[in-house]
């Protein structure tokens, strides 16, 4: 059975019914159209100037949010196709998964979360849903923007955390919808199980983890921040516990790293920047991605017969694979994310975004881009106006946030 035959009319439904395209236009599936809409979105272009791990202006090699999203999309598409699901859906979700990220990556996300409590908080994934269904305007329902008007299946695949913010606990930090976007969220979820990720969202989520765990290490090696042949294991394990796995034991992590070191392309000499070393490092990233995705594919097939689509199956993630990914994350976190030279820069970024929100709230619509100024004037209360300002700031690139902050600060 072809992948498209596994998705019913409910999956391909849009909020606003669209007329047929011209008869002489290229024939595309609804999910191919979704992918094209995300590719051509202004929010996608802005990702090229948003931080992944270090700022995109730091050098010519480092990844930005756009290149990261392209790599996640490639991993997601390949895994989806191997599982027999619709690869355009998983690829589109991967291309869209970071659209809601503000300037300065996760650091900026934390800053906006701290200043937006009065309007329901900030979370990059909830902001992605808001962009796709409201802010990135392509289609209108009367006088209301419905964003890119993507299909139900694609929107569901873009939803990493299919629940609303909670007052406390983990769901206060990670959630997928703001309260005033709940109507489109409820339409999108339909009869989906509460809090259940669809299979395509699980593929996107795994592809994101795989890509940034491997590529952050690659970037760190090339930047000279870490040496895979001389890792300080006790220090890395302590960072890993602080950031990711509080209960992880040194002995278990040592065994996992030993297994990764046994991969044939793991380096045996320090990186020196030669073409041979660049090729070897690229082979390592390829081998690791293939290892992780292959193990997940085998485990998923072993757990059931499928079909591996939407809410009819789940991805199976072996414990070994999860630990291997966590080890790579821990290495990158220790040597790159918490490096001394980055701590001061991170603090400055948070202060800049906090001040920018404050000054935009004070200046009001005259300091906002036209679409956000219109939203401000339509906002019924202070909380709604704060949400408008947060939407504006989140839309900025690293450079435009710095420039706007400098322009608006009193002299």
* Integer Cα distance of 59 and 293 in angstroms: 30
User: Rounded to 5 degrees, what are φ and ψ at 215?
Assistant: -75, -30
Q: Provide mean pLDDT across the span 131-157.
A: 96
Element (H or E) spanning 145, and its range? strand 144-145
**Coil, strand or helix: which one is 164?**
strand
- In the structure encoding, which two tokens stand for residue 92, read together? 């589109």
Question: For 206-239, what is each residue's pLDDT tens digit?
Answer: 999 999 899 999 999 998 999 999 999 999 999 9
More confident residue, 397 or 63: 397
The answer to whether 144 touches 106, Cβ cutoff 8 Å, is no
User: What is the overall mean pLDDT for the chain?
Assistant: 93
List the domains of the chain with CATH numbers. 3-189 (1.10.3210.10), 199-340 (no CATH)
Confidence of residue 195 (pLDDT cuts 50, 70, 90): very high
How many percent of the chain have pLDDT more than 70?
A: 94
- In the structure encoding, which two tokens stand for residue 34, read together? 């979704």
Count of CB atoms situated within 10 Å of the CB of 245: 18
> Is the pLDDT at 156 greater than 60, yes or no?
yes
| Cis peptide bond prior to 197, omega within 30° of 0 | no
> Is the pLDDT at 290 greater than 70, yes or no?
yes
**Coil, strand or helix: which one is 292?**
helix
Burial pattern 349-362, b for ≥16 Cβ within 10 A else e, equals bbebbeebbebbbe
> Is the pLDDT at 57 greater than 60, yes or no?
no
- In the structure encoding, which two tokens stand for residue 198, read together? 């669809």
- In the structure encoding, which two tokens stand for residue 347, read together? 């603090």
How many percent of the chain have pLDDT more than 90?
A: 84
* Integer Cα distance of 186 and 333 in angstroms: 36
> Is the pLDDT at 60 greater than 60, yes or no?
no
* Integer Cα distance of 268 and 255 in angstroms: 18
> Is the pLDDT at 52 greater than 70, yes or no?
no
């Amino acid at each position: 059975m072809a992948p498209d035959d596994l998705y019913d009319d409910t999956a391909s439904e849009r909020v606003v019914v669209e007329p047929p395209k011209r008869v002489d236009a290229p024939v595309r599936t609804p999910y191919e159209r979704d992918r094209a809409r995300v590719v051509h979105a202004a929010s996608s272009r802005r990702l090229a100037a948003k931080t992944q791990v270090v700022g995109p202006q730091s050098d010519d090699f480092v990844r930005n949010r756009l290149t990261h999203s392209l790599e996640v999309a490639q991993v997601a598409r390949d895994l989806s196709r191997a599982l027999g699901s619709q690869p355009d859906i998983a690829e589109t979700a991967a291309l869209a998964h970071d659209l809601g990220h503000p300037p300065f990556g996760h650091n900026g996300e934390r800053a906006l979360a701290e200043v937006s409590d009065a309007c329901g908080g900030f979370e990059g994934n909830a902001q992605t849903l808001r962009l796709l269904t409201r802010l990135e305007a392509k289609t209108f329902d009367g006088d209301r923007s419905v964003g890119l008007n993507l299909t139900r299946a694609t929107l569901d695949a873009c939803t990493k955390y299919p629940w609303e913010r909670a007052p406390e606990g983990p769901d206060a930090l990670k959630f997928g919808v703001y309260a005033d976007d709940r109507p489109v969220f409820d339409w999108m979820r339909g009869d989906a199980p509460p809090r259940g990720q669809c299979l395509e969202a699980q593929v996107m989520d795994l592809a994101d983890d795989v890509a940034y765990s491997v590529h952050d290490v690659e970037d760190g090696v090339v930047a000279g921040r870490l040496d895979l042949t001389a890792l300080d294991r006790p220090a890395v394990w302590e960072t890993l516990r602080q950031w990711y796995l509080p209960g992880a034991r040194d002995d278990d992590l040592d065994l996992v790293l030993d297994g990764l070191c046994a991969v044939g392309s793991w380096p045996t000499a320090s990186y020196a920047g030669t073409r041979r070393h660049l090729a070897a490092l690229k082979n390592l990233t390829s081998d690791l991605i293939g290892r992780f995705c292959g193990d997940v594919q085998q485990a998923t097939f072993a757990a059931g017969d499928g079909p591996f689509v939407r809410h009819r199956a789940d991805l199976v993630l072996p414990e070994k694979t999860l630990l291997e990914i966590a080890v790579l994350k821990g290495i990158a976190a220790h040597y790159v994310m918490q490096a001394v030279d980055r701590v001061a820069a991170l603090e400055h970024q948070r202060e800049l975004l906090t001040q920018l929100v404050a000054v935009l709230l004070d200046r009001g619509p005259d300091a906002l881009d036209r679409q956000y100024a219109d939203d401000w004037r339509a906002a019924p209360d202070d909380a709604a106006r704060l949400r408008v300002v947060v939407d504006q700031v989140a839309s900025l690139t690293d450079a435009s946030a710095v420039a706007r902050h400098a322009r608006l600060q009193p002299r």
